[in-house]
Amino acid sequence: MNIRRISFDLMVYGSVHELEQQDQELMKEAVKARKKAYSPYSKFNVGAAVLLENGEIVTGNNQENASYPSGLCAERVAIFYASAKYPGIAINTIAISATSENFVVDKPAAPCGNCRQSISEYEIKQLRPISIIMSGETGEVLKCNSVADILPLAFNSTFLG
């Protein structure tokens, strides 16, 4: 028998105030960014702040469309913008914050599967893990030190031969 168990790590903080100072600062940028979301259909506003290894912070927010699938999540707007503006500069951390115009978001906004896949692409490319911090408006905050923790067994370019 050769059975192995694969597990993943996720840190749960009681609130944003329990995060390290640098992470709190990045989350503040995500909160600022979510206020500029274009979300007339869902009224669910998400902001993402990307900290690069050169110290720059790039932010994004969700951009919706009357043709719903044409819209894009905050995380991808932010990482694509970061890669477009600073190609080849590694991403250290992504902070995500969500709010709604209809209810209080009291649990962390976890990135959708497509966003996890997109973050994974950059993590593999840069050969360095990307930390992700997830937050709602109130309540607990989650942090993982690699997107692989929330996207185990990700499809990647090695499968393409």
Residues near ligand THU (CB under 6 A): 39, 42, 44, 46, 62, 64, 71, 73-75, 109, 111-112, 115
| Token pair for 109 | 């906004």
Amino acid letter, 160: L
Which of the following is catalytic: 75, 101, 121, 140?
A: 75
Task: In whole angstroms, give the CA distance from residue 137 to residue 90.
Answer: 28
Helix (H) or strand (E) holding 94: strand 91-100
| Minimum CB distance to ligand THU, residue 37 (Å) | 7
Please confirm, yes or no, whether 56 is among the known catalytic residues: no
Q: Give me the least distance between CB of 87 and ligand THU, in Å please.
A: 23
Q: Which is nearer to ligand THU, 41 or 53 (CB)?
A: 41
Residue 19 vs 134, nearer CB to ligand THU: 134
Alpha-carbon dihedral angle through residues 15, 17, 20, 25, given to the nearest 10 degrees: 110
**48 vs 54 by CB, closer to ligand THU:** 48
HEC string for 19-75: CCHHHHHHHHHHHHHHCCCECCCCCEEEEEEEEECCCCEEEEECECCCCHHHCECHH
User: Shortest approach of ligand THU to residue 68 CB, angstroms?
Assistant: 8
Minimum distance, C-beta of residue 125 to ligand THU, in the bound complex (Å): 21
CB closer to ligand THU out of 29 and 75: 75
Q: Name residue 50's beta-bridge partners.
A: 58, 94
Residues known to be catalytic: 75
